[in-house]
């Protein structure tokens, strides 16, 4: 496990474009999560869309584990946590709106 953590913070083979994409997406999710939390409304949110996004991040993480573990792996983790939080809020607040 320690070896995995040490390898993940090595930047030697990091894809700057992949990191840029994840940073841009990651900058957007906190706003969506906060809006859902504040308004307690999930109108217009799709659970299927959120599940597809989470699945994509999981595939990205698996790719990093299999091929090149670098710091970008942790960007996938952060994004997955943010989308998962929005998904949980979506499940919680959807019951209130029905």
Q: Residues near 57 by Cβ (< 8 Å), separated by ≥ 6?
A: 76, 79, 80, 83
Q: Whole-model pTM?
A: 0.82
pLDDT value at residue 70:
86
- Give yes or no for a contact between 57 and 79, defined as CB atoms under 8 angstroms apart: yes
Cα of first residue to Cα of last residue in the chain, in angstroms, is 44
- Give yes or no for a contact between 65 and 73, defined as CB atoms under 8 angstroms apart: yes
Q: What is the pLDDT of residues 24-47, one digit of tens each?
A: 999 999 999 999 999 999 988 999
Q: What is the pLDDT of residues 34-88, one digit of tens each?
A: 999 999 999 889 999 999 999 999 999 999 999 888 889 999 999 999 999 999 9
pLDDT value at residue 61:
96
Domain boundaries, the chain: 44-98
Task: Report the alpha-carbon distance of residue 3 to residue 69 in Å, rounded.
Answer: 10
């Amino acid at each position: 496990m320690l070896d995995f953590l040490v390898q993940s913070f090595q930047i030697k083979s990091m894809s700057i474009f992949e990191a840029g994409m994840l940073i841009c997406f990651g900058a957007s999710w906190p706003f969506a999560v906060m809006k859902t939390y504040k308004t307690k409304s999930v109108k217009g949110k799709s659970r299927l869309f959120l599940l597809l996004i989470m699945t994509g991040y999981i595939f990205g993480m698996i790719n990093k584990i299999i091929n090149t573990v670098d710091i970008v792996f942790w960007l996938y983790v952060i994004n997955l946590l943010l989308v998962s939080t929005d998904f949980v809020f979506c499940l919680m607040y959807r019951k209130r709106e029905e």
